[in-house]
Amino acid sequence: MWVDDWALRAACRTEQPDQLFVRGAEQNKAKQVCAGCPVRTECLAEALDNQIEWGVWGGMTERERRALIRRRPTASWRKVLESARDREIAQVTADA
């Protein structure tokens, strides 16, 4: 299920914004905040669909996001990521 009000549930909601908008090795620390976030996919889709250029969003740096956008410049990332998550859930359910 897609969460439209994802920012209210984000693991980073209590972090200082300066900790998520960093450069270099500090980005790895910011990405760790995203690792267990329940709305990581929604956050990433927001950043990709709106081509947000700065900060770590959904566990990806701006460089990582630019690479994805170059590969699929016209994609609706919400649809892509939602579909991938649905397939993963279906596979886990089938395997159970």
Residue 43 marked as a ligand binder: yes
Q: Is 17 annotated as a binding-site member?
A: no
Q: Is 70 exposed, middle or buried (0-12, 13-18, 19+ CB in 10 A)?
A: exposed
Look up tokens 């920012």; give the residue: 7
**3-state DSSP assignment of residue 61:** coil
Residue 60 annotated as binding site: no
The token duo for 46 is 């927001």
Dihedral sign of CA atoms 4, 77, 21, 30 in order: positive
Please tell me whether 84 is known to bind a ligand: no
**Residues annotated within a binding site:** 12, 34, 37, 43
**Residues annotated within a binding site for [4Fe-4S] cluster:** 12, 34, 37, 43
